[in-house]
Amino acid sequence: MTKLITNRMILRNFQLSDAPSVYQYAKNPHVGPIAGWPVHTSIENSRYYIESYFISPHIFAITLRANPEEVIGLVGLELVDEGNGKPFMKPGEAEISYWLGEPFWGQGLMPEAIQAVVNYGFEKCQLQSIWCGYKDGNNQSKRAQEKQGFKYDHTVEHMYNPVLDEYIIEHFTKLTRVQ
């Protein structure tokens, strides 16, 4: 199990036993849809998403150091070299994804978590670039990306999200490894 430690958090790989705490925050309609997935309807539903999407070597459960058993969010990388990413992404690149439970918004936790995963991506995964997208109107996500040095690259006017079966306007930012 990989662990990334920040000043306030422990980022670790997901486990199926995380379903109750994931459900606690993922049932909130302000969290999932803006991040690109539906509101969780039960602990079993959260377990399904953990098993189907969250359990991955480069996806991390966000926990506070004071309570490492309670998952309050997710941050992680989808590597192009492992068959993930969007069509415009190249080998040696990845997309970072994240969400955070609403009670923890506005505390600077997400920029701290993003920085830890960016470091992991560049140092451990030897990535050349990391992409990040945000749904049109999600200014909190835009600010979190800007705080970590991500620069606007382009907008896709009709980005299909198969999880929600919808088309959205998605803006993409990019951070390139400094050589």
What is the per-residue pLDDT for 179?
A: 65
Using the structure block, give the residue that is written with the tokens 């930012």: 173
pLDDT tens-digit readout, 3-51? 999 999 999 999 999 999 999 999 999 998 877 788 999 999 999 999 9
Evaluate if pTM is beyond 0.85: yes
Q: What is the rounded distance in angstroms from the CA atom of residue 17 to the CA atom of residue 126?
A: 31
Burial class, 65, CB count within 10 angstroms (exposed 0-12 / middle 13-18 / buried 19+):
exposed
Residue 19 parent element (H or E): helix 19-26
In contact, 10 and 1? CB cutoff 8 Å? no
Say if residue 164's pLDDT is above 80: no
In contact, 140 and 105? CB cutoff 8 Å? yes
Q: What single-letter DSSP state applies at residue 43?
A: H
